[in-house]
Structure 1
Amino acid sequence: MSTELFITTDFQRRWVNELTEAGPFFSGFSERSDELSKFPQENIEKLIKMGYTTLTLPKEFGGGGITVTDMVLFQETIARFDSATALAIGWHQGVIGELYENRKWTEEQLAQFSEAVQQGALVNRSVTEAQTGSPTRGGRPQTTAVRTESGWMISGEKTFTTMAPALTHILVSVWIEEKQKTGFFLLPSDANGLSIRDTWHMISMRGTESQTLVLDQVIATDDQLVEVNEAPRGNNQNGWLLHIPACYMGIAQAARDYAVHFAATYQPNSLNEPIASLFSIQTQIGKMDLELIKARHLLYDIARIYDDPARRVHLQNELGVAKSIVTNSAIEIVNLAMRIVGAKSLEMSNPLQRYYRDVRAGLHNPPMDDMTITKLAQAAISGQQ
């Protein structure tokens, strides 16, 4: 069971092969970054050197012009080897993909930023706040931008700023009192008054270093106000967020592969064959692959629909459904893998315990299950009115 069925182009084949070859390098830092809760900088530097971080730039801006389906395939491949690296770089890839697909910035702004990305710039949105929770729930930012004689003055704090130590640019959401609207400023990470506070003390995705961003009277220009939102961002269809379920799909595949190898090679002295010969173990393996097939086909089918503008217009809540189904299937797959391996799966040196902790983080990435389910119900009810 793998992504082989979903590779349809030579371009996809080349990148899957390159990322797979780099896989042992990526996984070589997994245990250390998890133990120390430190970002695997070496992995991101390697991806930059490979040209990976420019792939979601359109070709006319010097990038690879990849589709959402391509991104999902590549992100799942990375996650098989290191989940923190995949989730972290996935935010950069997804932000770039969305920015250049929607063309909300001026052509000059897009061109200038694409040059920075080609030179190794990394970006993420910083939107979550302690007071508002997930921005997809519609809370107004407490971070403010006030116009002064020297420019816009930005103050506030943002939690869950993934890849904080490696970012060169940050898209910060603010409340603009003057406009009575939310907006985004593009800030360089070395701006005066901008700092990172070490608050990332989680059991899941420890290597992402999703630290707190502190903005203490940061001054920005009008040109840095790149987006002013007319409606809540959570209402937009954004297929580039499928990098999130792709990451958890990759973790699930890694857990499944580990458990199957263990079952095929572990033979206690009470048996004449490895435990894979037992009906109970075969049942667990079969359940893992059942979940994998279900989740992967749904994820890639919805990605392909999004990539087709004629079909995309018919999408309603399918993007949220894909994230929900894949994440919950991934959690179940890791659970089954640990049942096969048994108590050894709880050893700190065993990757399954890390997969177990990391995959749980998916429940708290947007959109959350309750929002997806509520939207499905509301759509069903409105169809009867």
Structure 2
Amino acid sequence: MLAHDSAATAIDPVALADGLARGFAARAAAQQGFPAENHRELHASGYLRLLLPRDQGGTEGGLLPMVRAQERLAQGDAATALVVSMALVVMGKLREDRPWPAEVFAEVCGGMLRDGGAINNCVTEPELGSISRGGIPRSRATPVDGGWLVEGHKIFVTGAPALRWFLTAVVLPPSGAAPDGELATAIVAAGSPGLRIVDSWDGAMSLRGSGNSDVFYDKVFVPDRLMVERVPIGQRQGSAGGKASAPGLGPWSLAISAVYLGIGQAALEAACDYANTRVPTALGQPIAGQLHIQQRIGEMQAVLLAARATLHETARLWTERPDLRAELPARIAAAKYLCTNAACTATEHGLRVAGGFSLTAALPLERHFRDARAGLFQPPQDDLALGVIGRAALARRCGADTAP
């Protein structure tokens, strides 16, 4: 039973995330495998309803409130928060653009509202990598009576054990209108016959509870109504849209940046707690009084404050200044770059504050250090992010009077 009835509208996402994060943090250190209990609590508390639009029974959290909430959720358990942020990226775009038939969107939202679970894109494959880099998936859909049979193998499907819907990139066979075939999205329901999830993430370096699994499709039936976003392969590049559509540059990807900022903040708080309570016998007082400790804590705080300011200002501008949206992909890239690198910097300094104790499971610092590194490989990666930022700066100056 949900904690909020369908009439509830006044939900504070940050306060709700705060309560959930406390419970997540309490079990994170001893967590083994996928944290299914966390995801049950996300549904029971009504937090997942913040992803859904009001016209579909959701409570529709806004961009900045959800960015702030996701940072707080990640301080409790970053792996769980990342699954939610991935779903926010998908659902945020769906609820704003409405690219699907209304009855299909209602079916997808209704399934999440009723049964819980998240939603994510399933695009990356072992041989070709992500289609965002230009590859054509090998996963195929064959027409049958009433729909399609999907066959293929996807990797790095974040949150797979908790997904209600798998938005699976497939290729449809050639037709008169599409001689090279079509690229399409198959909306695959969790539990569909032939859908198999394999835990290939156990023991990974970072975000071990994110369920970043392999997913196999063995003639999974998908009704024709759930085969959406069909685009002739020859038109694929032209349909990719503007800069805001590029991987990691849409507004809701700020929620992913917030997860890594949350990791850095959790490391800061853990390091402060350690420094305030650690009293070596040779010193006779907490190490927090030592200048070199204060300086390390200061650097952690400084990089996190700078990243947070950029993240929140970018979310605010997207919401309040629609006229600037064409210019904001570079800011979104900057927020991602700053948040992930701030998390890496902060967590490394956290290790140095606590010394050898930081390498043990007695403190969460080693987990935060490991988890922060996953952000380096989240799109856009640093080289691509800096390229976007640099091109935007150059374009602004193009044709300007630059004489001294």
Unaligned residue ranges in structure 2 (runs of 5+): 1-8, 400-404
Residue 216 of structure 1: CA displacement? 1.5
Say which is worse superposed, 226-235 or 99-108, in terms of deviation.
Answer: 226-235
For the structure 1 residues 233 and 152, does the alpha-carbon distance in structure 2 shift closer, same or farther, using more than 3 Å as the test?
farther
2:62 is the alignment partner of 1:70: no
2:134 to 138, 143, 148: 138
1:25 to 23, 26, 32: 23
> 1:215 maps to what in 2?
217
Aligned AA (1:79): A
Residue 71 of structure 1: CA displacement? 1.1
> 1:301 maps to what in 2?
313
> 2:5 maps to what in 1?
none
Say which is worse superposed, 115-124 or 293-302, in terms of deviation.
Answer: 115-124
- Counterpart CA distance in 2 for 1:233 and 1:212 is 29
1:104 to 99, 107, 111: 99
For the structure 1 residues 381 and 68, does the alpha-carbon distance in structure 2 shift closer, same or farther, using more than 3 Å as the test?
same
Residue 131 of structure 1: CA displacement? 1.5
Residue 198 of structure 1: CA displacement? 2.3
List per-residue Cα deviations over 1:289-323 (Å, max 9, x = no partner): 11011000001111111223233233232212211
> 1:316 maps to what in 2?
329
Say which is worse superposed, 114-123 or 162-171, in terms of deviation.
Answer: 114-123
List per-residue Cα deviations over 1:224-260 (Å, max 9, x = no partner): 1122355337950521111211111111111000111
Secondary structure class of the residue paired with 1:273: coil
Residue 63 of structure 1: CA displacement? 1.2
Give the conservation status (yes or no) of the 8 Å contact 1:162–1:211.
Answer: yes
Say which is worse superposed, 374-383 or 275-284, in terms of deviation.
Answer: 374-383
Aligned AA (1:330): A
- Identity among equivalent positions (%) equals 34
Residue 155 of structure 1: CA displacement? 1.3
Aligned residues: 372
Aligned AA (2:326): V
Give the conservation status (yes or no) of the 8 Å contact 1:56–1:66.
Answer: yes
Give the conservation status (yes or no) of the 8 Å contact 1:264–1:276.
Answer: yes
List per-residue Cα deviations over 1:348-384 (Å, max 9, x = no partner): 2321111111111111112211211223344455664
2:347 to 331, 334, 342: 334
Residue 127 of structure 1: CA displacement? 1.2
List per-residue Cα deviations over 1:191-248 (Å, max 9, x = no partner): 2221112211411111111110101222222211122355337950521111211111
2:389 is the alignment partner of 1:358: no
- Counterpart CA distance in 2 for 1:269 and 1:116 is 59
For the structure 1 residues 21 and 260, does the alpha-carbon distance in structure 2 shift closer, same or farther, using more than 3 Å as the test?
same
Aligned AA (1:151): G
Pairing of 1:48-63 with structure 2 (within 5 A): 48-63=43-58
Secondary structure class of the residue paired with 1:184: strand
Pairing of 1:119-268 with structure 2 (within 5 A): 119=114, 120-149=116-145, 151-178=147-174, 179=178, 180-201=181-202, 202-229=204-231, 230=236, 231-232=239-240, 235=243, 236=245, 237-268=249-280
> 2:3 maps to what in 1?
none
List per-residue Cα deviations over 1:89-148 (Å, max 9, x = no partner): 222233222211111011121222222222124321111112222343222212122334
Unaligned residue ranges in structure 1 (runs of 5+): 1-9
List per-residue Cα deviations over 1:141-192 (Å, max 9, x = no partner): 1212233456322211100111111222111011233243322110112222
Give the conservation status (yes or no) of the 8 Å contact 2:50–2:61.
Answer: yes
1:349 to 362, 375, 381: 362
Say which is worse superposed, 181-190 or 303-312, in terms of deviation.
Answer: 303-312
Cα RMSD between the aligned structures? 2.1
Aligned AA (2:188): L
For the structure 1 residues 234 and 81, does the alpha-carbon distance in structure 2 shift closer, same or farther, using more than 3 Å as the test?
farther
- Counterpart CA distance in 1 for 2:388 and 2:262 is 27
For the structure 1 residues 313 and 380, does the alpha-carbon distance in structure 2 shift closer, same or farther, using more than 3 Å as the test?
closer
List per-residue Cα deviations over 1:21-62 (Å, max 9, x = no partner): 3333212331233xx3x1111111111011111112222221
> TM-score scaled by structure 1?
0.90
Aligned AA (1:161): V
- Counterpart CA distance in 2 for 1:153 and 1:15 is 39
Give the conservation status (yes or no) of the 8 Å contact 2:156–2:213.
Answer: yes
- Counterpart CA distance in 2 for 1:315 and 1:199 is 36
1:283 to 277, 295, 306: 295
1:16 to 14, 17, 34: 14
Aligned AA (2:58): G
Secondary structure class of the residue paired with 1:22: helix
For the structure 1 residues 262 and 32, does the alpha-carbon distance in structure 2 shift closer, same or farther, using more than 3 Å as the test?
closer
Give the conservation status (yes or no) of the 8 Å contact 1:44–1:89.
Answer: no
Give the conservation status (yes or no) of the 8 Å contact 1:134–1:366.
Answer: no
